[in-house]
Copies of this chain bind each other. A is one copy, B any other.
Amino acid sequence: MHKIVISLLVMFIISAGVNAQTEGPAPMKPEMTEIWDPEVTVVTPGATPVNAPSDAIVLFDGVNLENEWTDSKGGVPGWKVENGCATVVKGTGTIKTKRVFQDFQLHIEWRTPEEIVGESQGRGNSGVFLQERYEVQILDSYNNRTYRNGQAGSLYKQHAPLVNASKKPGEWQVYDIIYTAPRFNKDGTYFTPPVVTVLHNGVLIQNSVKLRGPTEFIGIPEYSIEEHGPGSLVLQDHSNPVSFRNIWIREL
């Protein structure tokens, strides 16, 4: 017993110290790389991945739009809420969330009209603006050629989607968006740019792409960067009756 203890101890002393120089780092133990605290916060997930988890803010439940949204002037949204979805009413303008957000995970479902009207940018056009300025394009891109950096799932005029995972017009589609807001330098330029990941109907179409600046219809995004804090989500009225449902967000 005595001898065993001593030899164990000697083995330990040798292994932990002296011969590190010749044989690489001294051996560690599994416990040395365990981290126990703080305990990770528990969240109850939805029944399926499209259902809101317990820590999400439900922005639209299919019934009430006024709770979380206003029109662009702060008034009641002019969009139609019916049959569990909200639909753009042409000319009533964009709608925006009352709350503002920084980094987040967003789930949003949308549908372009079953009846095909128009072409290219004129068919089923709407958009989700992150922090009021960075647009994830919504468009009927099912058999509807347009410029690649302006089709459904593009970060408008900055990044075309990796693939076109569009469903047919009239079918519900899903965007799951992971967004990291920009941080700024003292001079108002980006210290880190906005970063966006998008899954379209479960298919990865934007993989941590960095935005060059706010979305611009005309011109170069880099030239219009200005410091900003948290911002609303904005849904676009682009004159087409696009519908929305099951919108939830988790602040990160």
Contact = CB atoms under 8 A, between A and B. Distances in A.
Interface of A: 2, 5-6, 8-9, 12, 16-17, 20-22, 24-46, 48-51, 53, 55, 105, 107, 145, 147-151, 157, 160-167, 174, 176, 178, 180, 183, 191-192, 195, 197, 199-204, 207-208, 212, 216-220, 222-223, 250, 252
Contacts of A32: 20, 25-28, 32, 218, 220
A179 to B, nearest CB: 10
B180 A33 contact: no
Contact of A212 (B43, B150, B212, B218): B212
A150 B8 CA distance: 30
A145 B180 CA distance: 30
B35 A25 contact: yes
A183 B191 contact: yes
Number of copies: 4
A49 B201 contact: yes
A219 B192 CA distance: 24
Contacts of A218: 27-30, 32-33
A57 to B, nearest CB: 14
B157 A33 contact: yes
Given A164-B42, A250-B204, A24 B9 contact: no
Contacts of A165: 43-45, 53
B150 A40 contact: no
A50 B12 CA distance: 50
A33 B220 contact: yes
Contact of A43 (B22, B157, B203): B203
B16 A25 contact: no
